[in-house]
Amino acid sequence: MTPAELSHADLRLEVGGGVATITLDRPGVRNAQRPRMWAGLARILDELDESVRVVVLRGAGGTFSAGLDLSLLDPAQPDEEGNFVATLALDDRAIIDQIDVFQRPFAMLADPRFITVAVVEGHAIGAGFQLALCCDLRIATDDARFCMKEPALGLVPDLVGTKPLVAAVGYARALEICATARTVAGTEAGEIGLAQVVVPAAELDAALAATVHALTAHPHGAVSATKALLQAAPARSLDDQRLAERTAQVARFRDLAAAFAPAAGE
């Protein structure tokens, strides 16, 4: 994407050393999300070089994201991209298809090509919480604030967050967090498995650097194949998972053998 396209999507992108860092860049409105940001995110993820093995997602200005740009729900404030209230004129199928497009970048974060890490400081509300949930790992400050606000607004979480939330904390805790729309602080997020690393704000960048270093220390092919195995494990029978392990291992053997084979003529 060109710098102008990134700026239009309210995103910043830095790529280097196998790591892509994507920053939600609307600090004036606490990185509130709108469709152009989602479309930009999808394009970035689509276009990432094969050498990228870790994707870091964070927010500008000391907060992750305050969720959906609420002006999109306000019929009195038409946005240039169209107001969500106007969407109600469409038939059900068209609305479902529209949400499918919005969900795409959230789902793309599960791609086994890379490990995705959300860096959560400040607020992760609604679509912000869901975006963080769609990442493989969450590094949070102890005073971060996660909130699934949708039910309080009469809505459901529909940006791919429900499945990873249940996977992270279990059904009962997930339901309690969503139904009450309460705020989960960073410290509690660590205790219940919502965040994998929790640190004071002053230590956030060091914790991120250490995590990224550890995630990039081992062979890329082995790490991404392992991510694919773990992702699929809950939906497979034991026998199917064993078969998937064996199959993935053969591919690993072949890759390693090719890497260590003497060059022709040696």
Binding residues for ligand CAA (CB under 6 A): 29-30, 32, 66-71, 123, 125-127, 149-150, 153, 155
Q: CB 147 → ligand CAA: shortest distance, Å?
A: 8
Of residues 54 and 57, the one with the C-beta less far from ligand CAA: 57
Closest distance of CB 14 from ligand CAA, Å: 25
Instruction: For tokens 């790490």, name the residue.
Output: 223
Distance (Å, whole) CA 75 – CA 78: 6
**How far is Cα 33 from Cα 63, in angstroms, rounded to an integer?**
13
Contact 130, 122 (CB under 8 A): no
Residues 6+ positions from 264 with CB-CB distance below 8 Å: none
CA distance 158 to 195: 21
CB of 116 to ligand CAA, least distance (A): 19
Q: What angle do CA 11, 22, 4 make, to 5 degrees?
A: 30
What is the Cα Rg of the chain in Å?
Answer: 20
Residue closer to ligand CAA by CB (options 16, 28) is 28
Give the nearest distance from C-beta 5 to ligand CAA in angstroms. Answer: 22
**Rounded Cα distance, 235 and 194, in Å:** 21
Nearest to 132 by CA among 220, 58, 192, 190: 58
At a CB cut-off of 8 Å and minimum separation 6, what does 144 contact?
Answer: 64, 120, 121, 122, 123, 124, 185, 186, 189, 195
Tell me whether residue 48 or residue 140 sits nearer to ligand CAA (CB atom).
140
Determine phi and psi for 114, rounding to 5 degrees: -140, 165
Q: Which is nearer to ligand CAA, 72 or 223 (CB)?
A: 72
Q: How far apart are CA 244 and CA 218, in angstroms?
A: 21
* Tally of CB atoms within 10 A around 146: 26
Q: How far is the CB of 232 from ligand CAA (least distance, A)?
A: 28
Q: Which residue, 79 or 203, is less far from ligand CAA as judged by CB?
A: 79
State how far the Cα of 160 lies from the Cα of 100, in Å rounded to an integer.
10
CB of 30 to ligand CAA, least distance (A): 4
Instruction: Report the nearest approach of ligand CAA to the CB of residue 45 (Å).
Output: 20
Q: Which is closer to ligand CAA, CB of 70 or CB of 107?
A: 70
Q: Nearest residue to ligand CAA, using CB?
A: 126
In the complex with ligand CAA, the residue whose CB is nearer, 35 or 211, is 35
